Amino acid sequence: MPEPSPASEDSTTRPSLPDPWAPGRRITLDGPLEPASNETAFGFATALFAILGAFLLFQVIASPVILMAILVAKEGPDGLASLGDPEQLLGSFGQEVLLTNALAQWVSFALPTLLLARLHARQITAFLRVRQTTARTLTLSLAGMVAFLPVAQWLAALNQKIPLPDSVRVLDEQSMKLIEQVLQSDFHLVFGLLVMAVTPAICEELIFRGYAQRQFERSVSPAMAIVLSGVLFGLYHLRLSQFLPLAAIGIYLAYLTWRTGSLWPAILAHFANNGVIVVVSQFDAPADTASATVAQGMTMPWYSVVLGLVAFSAVIYLLEASSRPPEQPNVRPRGA
């Protein structure tokens, strides 16, 4: 019997991830960042590192540098004078701030996530679950987001009753006022949708559900990975007065990614959620959330919450019944 070649021997010893939607139901981890074995702590640590690193890159480096560059390009050095007064900055350069936020998300979230994924596996899209899904799945995912909005609104009202330090509430109120000022500024609807709905839907889903959730699944159960992804999504927005609805929506988006095997349902649901607030803001309706999630001052009648829960449960039932991995022989791929 001929001895196996070094290449074939290496392909059988590489660590891999279980993935029912991938060829052979596994993804080979053939990137340079992978350890010799699929260590449990490695996945958890890299997920936390990615989220924390992206957050710091966004807040400390990318956003300030991009904003200063835009202001100097438009107004010259004098444009930097407004940086010390956030209200004046948003009043005079609202669109520039929105553009800065969008560009900084691509630089801080999307691009580093693609790089990190390549360090784990050659097939980046498979690792991040960027794969096709059905129109039925996308429709159900969107319906679930719509049905969940009254529940998220109820969670926001409940969140307001949780005692928080005065300093935290003051910061939340200041942040809310700034966001209101941005949303009520004069911007074109298409521009607003691109920077406040399309960009966060893609960039935030890539890092939270595409990368971090995948890495969490290497350390804990899928259910715990879903919860972790949602909770960190809620904390990331730095709005403790909105933590419950943000985390709940994050958990739903994480569930969609795991159940459907694709990132597109979560991206679509995220876009629809943010897009509603952008569209509503164009008609001078209240819009006061940092992530375009729920209106903090709005109360929902109890029957709308109950109907929302019923409809949401029906969507979950249909997703559980229909979103199943494709039939395929359970063989080990050469490089899934």
The torsion angles phi and psi of 35, rounded to 5 degrees, stand at -75, 175
Q: Based on the structure, what is the number of domains in the chain? A: 1
The answer as to whether 117 is a domain residue is yes
In a domain, 254, yes or no: yes
Rounded Cα distance, 295 and 149, in Å: 10
Residue 177 included in any domain: yes
Find where tokens 């992206």 sit. Answer: 54
Q: Is 129 left (phi over 0), alpha (psi -120 to 50) or beta?
A: left
Which stretches within the chain are classed as H helix?
6-13, 40-56, 63-75, 86-92, 94-105, 111-120, 124-127, 135-160, 166-183, 189-193, 199-205, 213-216, 222-236, 243-260, 264-281, 302-322
* pLDDT at residue 146 greater than cutoff 90: yes
d(CA 335, CA 333): 5
Which segment of 138-152, 244-258, 276-290 scores lowest on mean pLDDT? Answer: 276-290
Q: Residue 35: its pLDDT value, please?
A: 72
Angle, alpha carbons 145-275-101 (nearest 5°): 120
Among residues 30, 193, 179, 220, the alpha carbon closest in space to that of 90 is found at 179
**Per-residue pLDDT at 233 exceeds 50:** yes
Q: What is the pTM of this model?
A: 0.87
Please work out, in degrees rounded to the nearest 5, the angle formed at the alpha carbon of residue 57 by the alpha carbons of 52 and 59: 95
CB count within 10 Å of CB 7 equals 8
Strand, coil or helix: 116: helix
Does residue 213 sit within a domain? yes
Residue 247 lies in a domain: yes
Query: Within a domain: residue 78?
Result: yes
The more confident residue out of 322 and 4 is 322
* % the chain with pLDDT above 90: 55
pLDDT band at 61 (very low <50, low <70, confident <90, very high): very high
Domain-embedded: residue 335: no
**Structural domain boundaries, residue 122:** 15-322
Residue 329 lies in a domain: no
pLDDT, greater one: 325 or 207 = 207
β-bridge mates for residue 310, sequence order: none
